[in-house]
Amino acid sequence: MPPLPARIRLFRATRVVAATAGSQRSGVIEAPFLGRDHELRLVKELFHASAERHSARMVLVSGVAGIGKSRLSWELFKYLDGLADDVLWHSGRCLSYGEGVSYWALSEMVRARLQIGEEDPQAVVSDRLRTGLERWISDPADREYISPRLGQLLGIAAPRQLAKEDLFSGWRLFFERLSEFTPVVMVVEDLQWQTPGSSTSWTTSLSGPVTTRSSSSCSRARRQQSKGASGCLGDRSPPFPSTRFLTRS
């Protein structure tokens, strides 16, 4: 056995400032996270309850600019990143400007999941969509259903534009399928920029109760429903547990 060095330097880890392997570390020194233990504990607990019970939770965090909403999400991210089990994290922000940006936050999440860059040409987007769906969605029928709906979200030219409810059911099915074996988190930043009546309904629709471990026949039945009916899947679902807390100074 080799002899012990004369002096061993010990370090105590006091806080986490980056994701695994030092990724996503801020360029500036990060101030310690103060005064929001209760809020952080609450979102952690809601995450675990949701994952254990295979049901969705929606948490709305509101407060004035700079109060710490994004920081709370970053702290949750670091916590989940440090867990032994995988978590599929998605984050997107609503834009305050521009045409056709109602679903920008969602498209950011989907692009990140499918490893599609904002500037990628259509051929690359189509290719990544196909390979991404093959990777994440096991049922070919589900893939066939989801593909044109995500394609429209990602700006792939299609022979016909699908109706909003139809799109929602495809987007929702994508995230349902992702959540079958791994918990899924979706963080929507800057929700105040949502266009009333458009994005509001996608967040509500997607955050409704997620059918985890559901069979293909179930999803097919739901698709049939969504094709012929006026509402989207989320509209027919019972209310989901939601938590709202205001961040105040």
Choose the one of Mg ion, ligand ATP, none that binds residue 34, judging by a C-beta under 5 to 8 angstroms depending on kind.
ligand ATP
- 109 or 133: CB nearest ligand ATP: 109
Choice between 39 and 142, CB closer to ligand ATP: 39
Q: Taking the complex as a whole, how short is the minimal distance between the CB of residue 64 and ligand ATP, in angstroms?
A: 7
Positions 7 through 66 that interact with ligand ATP (CB under 6 A): 31, 33-36, 63, 65-66
Instruction: Find, among 109, 47, 49, 40, the residue nearest to 75 by Cα.
Output: 40
User: By CB under 5 A, is residue 91 in contact with Mg ion?
Assistant: no
Rule CB under 6 A: choose which of 55, 70, 126, 214 binds ligand ATP.
Answer: 70
Site for Mg ion in 54-73 (CB under 5 A): 69-70
Residue 237 interacts with which of Mg ion, ligand ATP, none, CB < 5 to 8 Å by class: none
Contact positions vs ligand ATP (CB under 6 A): 31, 33-36, 63, 65-71
